[in-house]
Structure 1
């Protein structure tokens, strides 16, 4: 299985990018993982929030194959403890998922088409996180999941 984190726009904040890069490097020991940046909507001043979500949604959907299992990182998704998230990843691996795609939307969330295509939704926190911070939290939690699955000491119960 391969895991992709699809994000709208680049990570601009240096310390967050540095942290994300560290966990991406650590993850390479366990699984094929990459971060795919899709461009954010252009000329947003002339677009409504709904139009911006539609434009970003088209960019997100264009990156997917029919067989991809897409999970939205969404405030209305299911919340999990780290052990549950590790089990979730393991279930997808054992279930024959070829590519597991997690998606972080733009500033206004996801378009209806993206919600329709999604196989699942996960929330990382009840608190609101910046979209750049979500990237760091997610990559750390994914790394933690693999250390849990491999019975390594990174995670303490």
Structure 2
């Protein structure tokens, strides 16, 4: 199974970039994980939040294939412990799914069309994080999930 982390907008911080690159490198030991960065909408500083979500949504929807599993990282999604998330990932891998897309939207979230297309929503916390920071937090959790599945001494219960 291929895993794509699809994100909206570039990361402004070299520190965040470096941490994300480190976790993506680690993850590729377990699975083919690809980062796909969609450009920020044009005129994002002058358009409404709804218009920005619509533009981002159109770009995201063009990235999804018919058989893809689409998982939104969303504050209103399901929260899981790391062990439960690893089991969730294993279930998707066992299902024969060819491509699993984890999606991190822009600062205003997702359009209703993207919500309608999603197969699942996952929340990493009840707190709100910047859409740039969540990239690293999620990459670490995905890495942790694979180490749990492989019985490696990274995660401690």
Q: Same fold (TM over 0.5)?
A: yes
Does residue 79 of structure 2 align to residue 76 of structure 1? no
Alignment correspondent of 1:55: 55
The one-character-per-residue Cα deviations of 1:11-39 (angstroms, maximum 9, x if unpaired) are 12111111111111111110000110111
Match of 2:127 in 1: 127
1:114 maps onto 2:107 in alignment: no
Aligned residue in 2 for 1:45: 45
Give the secondary-structure state (helix, strand or coil) at the position aligned to 1:15: helix
1:149 & 1:45 partners in 2: Cα distance? 43
Q: C-alpha separation between the residues in 2 aligned to 1:7 and 1:110?
A: 11
Note the residue ranges of structure 1 that are not aligned, 5 or more in a row: none
Flag structure 2 segments of 5+ consecutive residues without an equivalent: none
User: 1:153 corresponds to which residue?
Assistant: 153
Q: How many residues align?
A: 157
Distance in 2 (CA, whole Å) between partners of 1:97 and 1:40 is 29
Q: With structure 2 as the length reference, what TM-score do the two structures score?
A: 0.98
SS at match of 2:109: coil
How large is the RMSD of aligned CA atoms in angstroms?
A: 0.7
Which has the larger displacement, 44-53 or 92-101? 44-53
Structure 1 stretches (4+) deviating beyond 6 angstroms? none
User: Any idea what the Cα deviations from partners look like across 1:134-157, whole Å, max 9, x if unmatched?
Assistant: 000000000000000000001111
